[in-house]
Structure 1
Amino acid sequence: MRSAYKFRLYPTRAQIKKLEDTLETCRQLYNDALAAKKEAWEDDRYNLTYYEMARQLSANRKKNQALGAVYAHVLQDVLRRVDKAFQNFFRRVKNGEKPGYPRFKGKGWYKSFTYPDAGIGYKIEGSKLILSGIGAIRIFKHREIEGKIKTCTIKRDSTGAWYAIFSVDTEEEPPRVDPRTAVGVDVGLKNAVTLSTGETFSYPRYLIQMEKKLAAAQRRLSRKIKGSKNWIKQKLKVARIHRKIRNLRDEFLHQISKKI
């Protein structure tokens, strides 16, 4: 089975600068690769492959200081993202679905980069995650990772917090459910969860209180002048409350799933 482990990172100011520079370099590379594929297709109906883009990247890294400062496999993963976006686009066109042409990423819309090879370019040593080109970042590893790590993704959320997400392969087989003991689960508004056995789980009081706090913060945000300093500060407060609610909801749902 494939599972994921998400841990909070606590980088220093210097490391935050390096992380943000890496994100920006990856964003620009994504847009450049997208533009190159778009131009090749519109001019010659030619689908520029990942390997052709990777060869060009190798040449560009020698001339471009920003590209040269980022671990090569991270940049290669960016090109794979672009290639996959086009593959999905052509698949949707072929299947008669809404195509959704790949979009360029504006500032703030590219939020993660990935080390695609397990143990290459990064490693965990105690309470530190060592990233090539960035350094040893303090990581809050609140549980042990079980299984074989496949990739490590570094992500920044809307509040500016940083996380490491490890994709892991476990040797466990997916659990087989006996239909005679299966239980139906319905997610609703009045009750958080209702089981086919008649048992219900209500939303916890602390979650309801946080949602009321979010509503009040959003009302205050709506009264600010968009783009002003006060609006930016209030927007960050709203994002932090969203993060808190998300964490509380995840914890609540994990507790319910354990009981079930």
Structure 2
Amino acid sequence: MIKTYKFKLYAAKRNKKLHRQINAAGLAYNHCIALHKRYWQLYHKLLNKFALQKHLTKLKKLERFSYLKEIGSQALQDVTDRIDRAYNLFWTNLDNKRKTAPPGFKKVCKYKSYTLKQAGWKLDEGHGTVYIAKQKYRYFKSRNIEGRIKTLTVKRDTLGDIYLYFVCEQKITEVKLRTGKSVGFDFCFKDKMLVAPDEENDIAAPSFFQKNQKA
């Protein structure tokens, strides 16, 4: 079973670094979209995501594209994965004759997130902190994380707040029936009754409004 845990980061000046990293992911996304469109115009073929990954790795060495160094290689791979999934969905919709459009450019200021897999981050759950690109960040620890963490997504909202999304893989425990019998439920409001099981006592409606009406 896959479960996602969401935590909000404490507001801090160091969070500007995460905003720069998200912007860098947005620039990389638009660059790859431009390559896709140009390649299609010239050869009427789609670019392979692995070719895009190799291309981005080479661009890191150029001063003009130094912003790509803001994020790790896994985050850049995730950008190409997103574009690949978007194009696959586009072609699937065309085959099924659904209204659709190819992936387009996005405003960098509105680009929302990037995803890391097993590298580029480290979690210190006991102290409610996470290290991303060797920078320490604190988050509101509202619960404990259960299961094996598969990915970490750094996401910002329209207000500029940043959230962490931990996608975890959890083992499903088998639930065994104790009796093997079935029971039916009837939902109604007859005589203030809420639920009427066929083998047990009726469950009355709480009637919160009537109880607190005088107050």
TM-score w.r.t. length of structure 2? 0.78
Relative to structure 1, the CA distance from residue 44 to residue 26 in structure 2 (aligned partners, 3 Å threshold; closer, same or farther) is same
**Alpha-carbon distance between aligned partners in 1 of 2:85 and 2:53, rounded to the nearest angstrom:** 14
Q: Which amino acid aligns with 2:111?
A: Y
Alignment of 1:94-113 (within 5 A): 94-113=95-114
**Alpha-carbon distance between aligned partners in 2 of 1:89 and 1:79, rounded to the nearest angstrom:** 15
The structural deviation recorded for 1:200 is: 7.5
Relative to structure 1, the CA distance from residue 92 to residue 175 in structure 2 (aligned partners, 3 Å threshold; closer, same or farther) is farther
The structural deviation recorded for 1:94 is: 1.2
Give the equivalent residue in structure 1 for 2:93: 92
| Deviation readout 1:199-227 (Å, 9 max, x if unpaired) | 8799x9xxxxxxxxxxxxxxxxxxxxxxx
Structure 2 unaligned runs (5+)? 188-193, 198-202, 210-215
Q: After TM superposition, what 4+ stretches of structure 1 lie above 2 angstroms from structure 2?
A: 173-185, 194-202
Q: Which amino acid aligns with 2:80?
A: L
Relative to structure 1, the CA distance from residue 142 to residue 2 in structure 2 (aligned partners, 3 Å threshold; closer, same or farther) is same
Judging by fraction of residues, say which structure has more helix: 1
Q: Which amino acid aligns with 1:122?
A: W
Count of aligned pairs: 192
Q: Is 1:131 aligned to residue 132 of structure 2?
A: yes
Higher relative contact order (CA 8 A, sep 6+): 2
**Alpha-carbon distance between aligned partners in 2 of 1:169 and 1:95, rounded to the nearest angstrom:** 33
SS for the counterpart of 1:27 is helix
Q: Is 1:165 aligned to residue 191 of structure 2?
A: no
Give the equivalent residue in structure 2 for 1:3: 3
Give the equivalent residue in structure 2 for 1:52: 51
The structural deviation recorded for 1:42 is: 2.5
**Alpha-carbon distance between aligned partners in 1 of 2:163 and 2:53, rounded to the nearest angstrom:** 27
Q: Is the 8 A contact 1:11 1:137 kept in 2?
A: no
Q: Percent same amino acid among aligned pairs? A: 29
Question: Which structure is larger by alpha-carbon Rg, 1 or 2?
Answer: 2
**Alpha-carbon distance between aligned partners in 2 of 1:89 and 1:174, rounded to the nearest angstrom:** 39
Q: Is the 8 A contact 1:8 1:163 kept in 2?
A: yes
The structural deviation recorded for 1:69 is: 2.7
TM-score w.r.t. length of structure 1? 0.65
Give the equivalent residue in structure 2 for 1:239: none
Give the equivalent residue in structure 1 for 2:67: 66
